[in-house]
């Protein structure tokens, strides 16, 4: 069974805590790969659009007669070869979203968490309360834990207004609740900074 150190906000070890083997000892690379592709695809808006020949304005009249001019025959000045004409093979709005069944989605998240645990990429603290909504205080915590130069995913059981305000302007920090944890955020982060009660919440949800 995997263990992780429980730290205080000074970076001092308090005790070892056990990580549930049903979550932190599960691996399936194929499902993890599919889940990352799905997550990235579902972010895409699919609103790209350019106008084809039927949608550009003008071109209702044949520009010159079919024969006798010495020029190539043309039916419209809005054909694809004309400047200002419609586009051929134009992109149209589409839905890029994919689907995955619940069991696979859970296995993918467990796999991502397993890899993070193996890489010592999960830092667990007893609490993550900040007394003021200032960035300086929260940044001080990150520096004490030696996480200030890493991309950090902060996972808490319940969001605190001070913590939200103190972390939202840090580009390398993402803050979420335990039940919102997802594959893409876990994979994208260098380190997961979480609390003991948030780990327990994750285990409740995933077991």
**Is the same domain home to 55 and 154?**
no
Question: What is the four-CA torsion angle of 79, 81, 84, 89, rounded to 10 degrees?
Answer: 80
Find the CATH number of the domain harbouring 173: 3.40.1370.10
Handedness of CA 8, 12, 16, 19 (dihedral sign): positive
**Is the same domain home to 27 and 106?**
yes
How many domains does the chain contain in total?
Answer: 2
**Is the same domain home to 195 and 159?**
yes
CA 148 centroid distance within chain: 20
- The tens digit of pLDDT for each residue in 24-40 reads 999 999 999 999 999 99
What DSSP string runs through the chain?
A: --EEEEE-TTS-EEEEEEPPHHHHT---HHHHHHHHHHHHHHH---------TTTSS---S-SS-SSSSSSPP-S-TTSTTSTT-PPTT------------HHHHHHHHHHHHHHHHHTT-EEEES----SSS-HHHHHHHHHHTT-TTS-EEEEESS--HHHHHHHTT-TTEEEEEGGG--HHHHHH-SEEEEEHHHHHHHHHHH-
What's the pLDDT score for residue 59? 85
**Is the same domain home to 30 and 117?**
yes
> What spatial distance separates the first Cα and last Cα of the chain, rounded to whole Å?
15
**Is the same domain home to 158 and 128?**
yes
pLDDT greater than 70 at residue 1? no
- pLDDT bracket for residue 10 (50, 70, 90): confident
- The tens digit of pLDDT for each residue in 164-192 reads 999 999 999 999 999 999 999 999 999 99
Q: Which two tokens stand for residue 3?
A: 């263990």
- pLDDT bracket for residue 142 (50, 70, 90): very high
Let me know if 68 is exposed, middle or buried by CB neighbors in 10 A (0-12, 13-18, 19+).
exposed
Q: Which domain holds residue 164?
A: 3-44+99-206
pLDDT greater than 70 at residue 73? yes
Q: What percent of the chain has pLDDT over 90?
A: 77
């Amino acid at each position: 069974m995997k263990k992780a150190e429980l730290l205080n906000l000074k970076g001092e070890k308090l005790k070892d805590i056990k990580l549930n083997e049903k979550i932190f000892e599960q691996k399936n690379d194929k499902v993890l790969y599919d889940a990352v592709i799905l997550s990235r695809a579902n972010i895409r808006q699919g609103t790209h659009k350019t106008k084809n020949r039927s949608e550009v304005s003008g071109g209702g009249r044949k520009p010159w007669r079919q024969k006798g001019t010495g020029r190539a025959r043309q039916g419209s000045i809005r054909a694809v070869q004309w400047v200002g004409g419609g586009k051929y093979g134009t992109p149209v709005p589409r839905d890029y979203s994919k689907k995955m069944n619940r069991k696979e989605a859970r296995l993918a998240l467990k796999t991502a968490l397993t890899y993070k645990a193996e890489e010592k990429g999960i830092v667990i603290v007893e609490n993550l309360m900040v007394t003021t909504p200032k960035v300086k205080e929260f940044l001080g915590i990150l520096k004490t834990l030696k996480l200030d130069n890493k991309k950090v995913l902060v996972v808490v059981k319940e969001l605190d207004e001070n913590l939200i305000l103190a972390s939202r302007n840090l580009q390398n920090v993402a803050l979420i609740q335990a039940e919102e944890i997802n594959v893409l955020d876990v994979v994208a982060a260098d380190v997961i900074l979480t609390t003991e009660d948030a780990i327990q919440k994750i285990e409740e949800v995933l077991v």
